[in-house]
């Protein structure tokens, strides 16, 4: 949606069959103070006139905002090069590949960049709550934003998006020895000394294995194991009544205190707080 200064909503269809309508609408589109690009199947290079219109609005002082994957289209303007943005974590790899000049932070809810704080991006889908509330606070005041949040039961995602992100190790690197190690550790991460187990099965020298593993996956072997263990712990917290101590033991940690610290460092939440937020409520079971 593009919002004009008069409050008029300019809806821009996304599908290819509506491209001509987009061109016509842009010809008569009023100037806008804030433009919000929604999530959609934005294809690079498909809407050059829209991209140019966004640049022109920015030059005239408009704030450019994106919700979820809307930042893909905004990135085409070139205005975000070198500026921090966020995007739905499911699109992070594709965005990084398409726009390597733009630093992305998929763990962040809202990122505000630019000299005038005029480049605003929101992350995973329902962070549009945060985007809307931010714009209301920015233009009307914090009190109005809070009253609206209360009235419509909207929420600020104050803990960020890290707790929502599911770890999936890279396996498209083409290193067969490392892929074999990844496959083995995906079901043996809870055993004692899983890194040693991977090295032994790879038949590579320890230093060679660690170097190649880090190059292929972007993580050290021990960090990779930790991610797998924490991901399994998250599922157990969501779906079982097992104690935090038992879950830590089952995923490979005898020291419950260490497990709690690691879990919070990786997810941003203590295990108990994570369970409270993500446990399926009884009425839905």
Every domain of the chain and the residues it spans: 2-164, 176-284
CB of 216 closer than 8 Å to CB of 170: yes
**DSSP code for 142:** H
Q: How many CB atoms lie within 10 A of CB 234?
A: 23
Give the model confidence (pLDDT) of 212-265 as tens digits.
999 999 999 999 999 999 999 999 999 999 999 999 999 999 999 999 999 999
What is the per-residue pLDDT for 22?
56
Give the model confidence (pLDDT) of 28-47 as tens digits.
556 678 788 888 778 888 88
What is the per-residue pLDDT for 267?
93
CA distance 284 to 211: 46
The residues near 97 (Cβ < 8 Å, ≥ 6 apart) are: none
Confidence (pTM): 0.74
Q: What average pLDDT does this structure show over 262-273?
A: 95
Instruction: Name the nearest CA neighbour of 235 among 250, 257, 253.
Output: 250
Is 176-284 CATH 1.10.3720.10? no
Q: Is the pLDDT of residue 65 over 70?
A: yes
What is the per-residue pLDDT for 7?
45
Give the model confidence (pLDDT) of 118-176 as tens digits.
999 999 888 999 999 999 999 999 999 999 999 999 888 888 888 888 898 888 899 99
CB of 70 closer than 8 Å to CB of 89: no
| Bridge-based pairing state of the strands 63-67 and 34-37 | parallel
What is the per-residue pLDDT for 77?
95
The architecture of the domain spanning 2-164 is: 3-Layer(aba) Sandwich (3.40)
CA distance 264 to 217: 23
Q: How far apart are the first and last CA of the chain?
A: 37
Q: Is the pLDDT of residue 101 over 60?
A: yes
CB of 18 closer than 8 Å to CB of 25: no
β-partners of residue 112 are 120
CA distance 14 to 164: 28
**DSSP code for 167:** P
β-partners of residue 36 are 65
């Amino acid at each position: 949606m593009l919002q004009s200064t008069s409050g008029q909503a300019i809806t821009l269809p996304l599908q290819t069959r509506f491209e001509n309508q987009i061109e016509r609408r842009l010809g008569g589109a009023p100037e806008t103070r804030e433009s919000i690009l929604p999530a959609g199947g934005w294809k690079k290079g498909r809407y050059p006139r829209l991209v140019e219109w966004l640049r022109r609005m920015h030059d005239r002082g408009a704030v450019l905002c994106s919700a979820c994957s809307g930042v893909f289209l905004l990135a085409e303007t070139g205005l975000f090069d070198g500026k921090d943005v966020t995007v739905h974590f499911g699109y992070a790899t594709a965005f990084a590949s398409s726009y390597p000049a733009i630093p992305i932070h998929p763990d962040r809810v809202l990122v505000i960049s630019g000299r005038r704080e005029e480049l605003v991006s929101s992350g995973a889908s329902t962070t549009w709550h945060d985007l809307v509330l931010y714009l209301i606070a920015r233009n009307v005041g914090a009190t109005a934003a809070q009253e609206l949040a209360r009235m419509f039961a909207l929420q600020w995602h104050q803990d960020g998006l890290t707790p929502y992100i599911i770890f999936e190790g890279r396996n498209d690197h083409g290193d067969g020895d490392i892929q074999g190690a990844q496959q083995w550790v995906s079901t043996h991460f809870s055993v004692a000394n899983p890194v040693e187990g991977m090295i032994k099965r790879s038949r590579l020298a320890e230093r060679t294995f660690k170097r190649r593993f880090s190059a292929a996956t972007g993580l050290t072997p021990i960090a990779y194991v930790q991610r797998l263990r924490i991901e399994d712990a998250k599922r157990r917290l969501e779906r079982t009544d097992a104690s935090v101590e038992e879950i830590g033991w089952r995923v490979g940690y005898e020291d419950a205190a260490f497990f709690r610290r690691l879990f919070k460092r990786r997810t941003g939440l203590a295990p108990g707080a994570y369970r409270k937020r993500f446990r399926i409520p009884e009425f839905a079971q």
